[in-house]
Amino acid sequence: MAEHDVDFFVIGGGSGGVRAARIAANHGARVALAESYRLGGTCVIRGCVPKKLYVYASRFADDFADAAGFGWEVGAARFSWPKLVAGKEAEVSRLSDIYRANLVKAGVTIHANRATVLGPNRIGLDTGAEVSARHILVATGSHPVFHPDIPGIDLAISSNEIFDLPAFPKRLLAIGSGYIALEFASAFVRLGSAVTVVYRGDAVLRGFDHDMQAGLSEALGHAGIDLRPRTSPTRIERVDGGLRVHLDDGTTVEVDQVLAATGRVPLTAGLGLEAAGVQLDASGAIRVDRFSTTSVPSIHAVGDVTDRINLTPVAIREGHLLADTLFGGRDRATDHANVASAVFTTPEVGTVGLTEADARERFDVVDVYKAAFRPMKATLSGRAEKTVMKILVDGITDRVLGVHILGHEAGEVIQAVAIAVHMGATKAQFDATMAVHPTAAEELVTMRTRTARHTRGVAEAA
Ligand code: NDP
């Protein structure tokens, strides 16, 4: 008889957990997975997927407006929020069902329950049942936090609620200037909201390259978003017909909804981890080694709950490689270097590798190549739109250290560029690549003139 009920028990049916469960089962492990909500996790149910659908919906507004410059006469366009929400719901349900079907096909036992860790090899379900497992994976993700701690912050919503609001918010205020605040601000202003974004810093998108921050701020301003840097809310109150937000500059803004997009924290509370001996860091994230194993050798963790790089494809890779390591006979650590990402504002920001500030801190000589231009489509449409492309190069080895793009479909472009950067391509190899004309991305292989060279501690022009 087997020593344990299962070989692998996965807590959490999101991107990382589902991938790990499926791959482990394919390797022949006996696998169970507990998910008390819908299968698919934040990304599928109330994150990346529905967000991208809303972004697509929002961009029709630009297309309708741009069409006139190309000779089209478009009648008055009307947008239906209930129709978009219903369409989104159908697609999310379809994807969640596919997740379930794939798990079932792989032979994974699914428990629609909350699970807690009772010990290094023991899981408790909220039915009272207990399961013993050779290995346990915690893949519970993260949840939104509401900041700042001001009177009335409980009146705000998070990205969890915004997709299914019963009424479209004609006036929206977002707190924060990270991925979530800006993606929703950019989508909702195009769907017809009056949008205000308040944030405590000088620049949006902390940690991004400064040219992307500046270019995106300008574009969001052009889209009609009221950006309020160096501003914090002090109180939110309910008033007739909506919410009044008091700001620390003495002004107030009246809106229908306040979106708190002020970060996410690992979902580790109440899981029994500390009692089982699993070490957490100060933020509550699970500490893991490069194979995603915790301080308890039989307990592992992947995805947002470990607070490494909180992106879906990273969680998926961590889950996949963990399953290979535990059940596939191959030790496989996740490489977290040069992870590309995109911010799905309009225009998008696509980024891979180091920012200029980071590159200058880590390398003795950094060459900067930069191009800012009006995309071809904006000529006839008359849209005030700017594309910015930037390549950072190690001035000694010629290796490309980072690429940053602000522009149409920057997410698609950066995915392809990331292959070259991941392979360690040099600027000379970028230059040797033939351009595709006419595209915006051809700039990446035609930028010949250095904009600046930074030698450690000294800035000199090209
Ligand atoms: P981010 O960490 O990107 O941004 C958080 C924002 O909240 C920042 O502007 C931050 O300000 C602000 N903030 C934090 N604490 C406070 C406070 N006490 N008072 C006022 N402002 C505060 O988090 P998001 O919520 O936007 O997104 C969460 C995570 O989800 C992201 O980090 C990302 O990993 C993931 N995500 C990825 C997406 C993608 O890949 N396209 C899309 C959406 C989410 P400051 O900068 O000053 O610290």
pLDDT tens sequence across 260-286: 999 999 999 999 999 999 999 999 999
Q: How far is CA 409 from the centre of its chain?
A: 16
Q: Is the CB of 257 under 6 A from ligand 1?
A: no
Q: Are 452 and 368 in contact (CB under 8 A)?
A: yes
Q: What percent of the chain has pLDDT over 90?
A: 97
Ligand 1 atom nearest residue 175's Cα: 21
Range(s) of the domain holding residue 405 = 341-453
- Looking from the CA of residue 144, the nearest atom of ligand 1 is 25
Distance from Cα 4 to the centre of ligand 1, integer Å: 41
Give me 199's structure tokens: 């944030």
* 335 assigned to some structural domain: no
Q: What is the mean pLDDT of the chain?
A: 97
Residue 50 CB neighbour total at 10 angstroms: 24
Is the beta carbon of 314 within 6 A of some atom in ligand 1?
Answer: no
Q: Mean pLDDT, to the nearest integer, of 328-335?
A: 95
Q: Quick check: is 270 in a domain? A: yes
- Report how far ligand 1's centroid is from the alpha carbon of 182 (Å): 10
334 in a structural domain: no
The identity of residue 26, as a single letter, is N
Task: Report the nearest atom of ligand 1 relative to the CA of 232.
Answer: 20
Q: Is 33 in the pocket of ligand 1 (CB under 6 A)?
A: no
The answer, yes or no, to whether any atom of ligand 1 lies below 6 A from the CB of 197, is: no
Residue having the nearest C-alpha atom to atom 1 of ligand 1: 178
Alpha helices by DSSP H, listed for 372-426, are: 377-381, 410-422
Report the chain's terminal Cα–Cα distance, integer Å. 72
Task: Identify whether residues 258 and 273 lie together within a single domain.
Answer: no
Among 232, 262, 292, the domain-final residue is 262
Q: Which tokens sit at 271?
A: 């899981």
Question: Does 273 share its domain with 245?
Answer: no
Residue nearest to atom 42 of ligand 1 (CA): 179
Evaluate whether 141 touches 46 at the Cβ level (below 8 Å).
no
Residue 123 is assigned to a structural domain of this protein = yes
| Pocket flag, ligand 1, residue 263 (CB < 6 Å) | yes
H or E element in which residue 34 lies: strand 31-34
Q: Are residues 302 and 257 in the same domain?
A: no
What proportion of the chain, given as a percentage, has pLDDT over 70? Answer: 98
Protein residue whose Cα sits closest to atom 13 of ligand 1:
262
Looking at residue 8, its amino acid is F
Q: 159's torsion region: left (phi>0), alpha (psi -120 to 50) or beta? A: alpha
Nearest protein CA to atom 19 of ligand 1, as residue: 148
Query: In testing the pocket of ligand 1, which one of 216, 262, 341 has its CB within 8 Å of the most ligand atoms?
Result: 262
Q: DSSP of 208-243, one letter per residue? A: S-HHHHHHHHHHHHHTT-EEETT--EEEEEEETTEE
- pLDDT for res 243: 98
**Is the beta carbon of 54 within 6 A of some atom in ligand 1?**
no
- Which pLDDT does position 459 carry in this prediction? 58
State how far the Cα of 397 lies from the Cα of 266, in Å rounded to an integer.
39
Phi, psi of 157 (to 5 degrees): -110, 170
Cα 262 to ligand 1 centre (Å)? 5
Helix (H/G/I), strand (E/B), else coil: 135: strand
The residue assigned the tokens 């840097």 is: 229
Domain match, 77 and 13 both: yes
pLDDT category, 1, cuts 50, 70, 90?
low
- Are 61 and 210 members of one domain? no
State in Å: Cα 157 to ligand 1 middle.
Answer: 15
Residue 462 has pLDDT above 60, yes or no: no
| Whether 379 and 406 share a structural domain | yes
Q: Are 173 and 198 in contact (CB under 8 A)?
A: yes
Residue 310 CA: which ligand 1 atom is closest? 34
The residue contributing the CA closest to ligand 1 atom 41 is 343
Distance CA 425, CA 442 (A): 16
Looking at 212, 237, 262, the residue that finishes a domain is 262
Annotated catalytic, 222? no
Q: Residue 2 — very low, low, confident or very high, per pLDDT cuts 50/70/90? A: confident
**Type of residue numbered 368:** V
Are residues 89 and 53 part of one domain?
A: yes
Same domain, 228 and 370: no
Query: CB-side exposure of 97: number of CA atoms within 13 Å?
Result: 6
pLDDT in tens, 338-385: 999 999 999 999 999 999 999 999 999 999 999 999 999 999 999 989
User: DSSP assignment of 2-18, as one string?
Assistant: -SSSEEEEEE--SHHHH
| Count of structural domains, the chain | 3
CA 225 to chain centre: 21
pLDDT score, position 460: 58
pLDDT of residue 201: 97
Q: What distance in Å separates the CA atoms of residue 3 and residue 73, rounded to the nearest whole number?
A: 72
Give the torsion sign (CA, 217, 220, 222, 226): negative
CA angle 204, 210, 211 (to 5 degrees): 105
Taking a C-beta distance cutoff of 8 angstroms, is the pair 260, 153 a contact? yes
Q: Is the minimum distance from the CB of 179 to ligand 1 under 6 angstroms?
A: yes
Residue 98: pLDDT over 80: yes
461: pLDDT strictly greater than 70:
no
* Cα 64 to Cα 100, 190, 362, 413, 443, distances in angstroms: 39, 11, 46, 24, 28
Report helix, strand or coil for 84: helix
Using one digit for the tens of pLDDT, what is the confidence trace for 110-143? 999 999 999 999 999 999 999 999 999 999 999 9
Nearest protein Cα to ligand 1, atom 22: 262
**Which among 259, 75, 269, 90 is positioned nearest to 178, based on CA atoms?**
259
> Are 237 and 282 members of one domain?
no
- Ligand 1 centroid from CA 177, angstroms: 7
Residue 333 lies in a domain: no
Q: What is the atom index within ligand 1 of the atom nearest the CA of 181?
A: 26
The residue assigned the tokens 């947008």 is 79
- The CB of 349 under 6 Å from ligand 1? The reply is no
Centre of ligand 1 from the C-alpha of residue 350, in Å: 17
Q: What is the mean pLDDT of residues 281-308?
A: 97
- Are both 25 and 130 inside the same structural domain? yes
CA separation for the pair 177, 203 (Å, rounded): 8
- CATH code (residue 157): 3.50.50.60
Question: Per-residue pLDDT averaged across 430-444, rounded?
Answer: 98
Between the CA of 206 and the centroid of ligand 1 the distance, in Å, is 8
Q: Enumerate the β-bridge partners of residue 259.
A: 157, 174
The protein residue with its alpha carbon nearest to ligand 1, atom 31, reads: 179
Residue 147 included in any domain: no
pTM over cut 0.85: yes
- Best mutation site among 15, 200, 341 for ligand 1, i.e. most ligand atoms within 8 A of its Cβ? 200
Instruction: Evaluate whether residue 148 is within a structural domain.
Output: no
Q: For 63-79, write each residue's pLDDT tens digit.
A: 999 999 999 999 999 99
Picking from 242, 262, 282, the residue at the C-terminal end of a domain is 262
Q: In this structure, are 269 and 256 located in the same domain?
A: no
- Residue 344 near residue 52 (C-beta atoms within 8 A): yes
Q: Looking at the structure, do residues 422 and 405 belong to the same domain, yes or no?
A: yes
Structure tokens at 410: 């920057």
Q: Is 312 in the pocket of ligand 1 (CB under 6 A)?
A: no
Residues 47 and 198: their CA atoms lie apart, in Å, by 22
Is residue 460 situated within a structural domain? Answer: no
For ligand 1, is residue 137 a contact (CB within 6 Å)? no
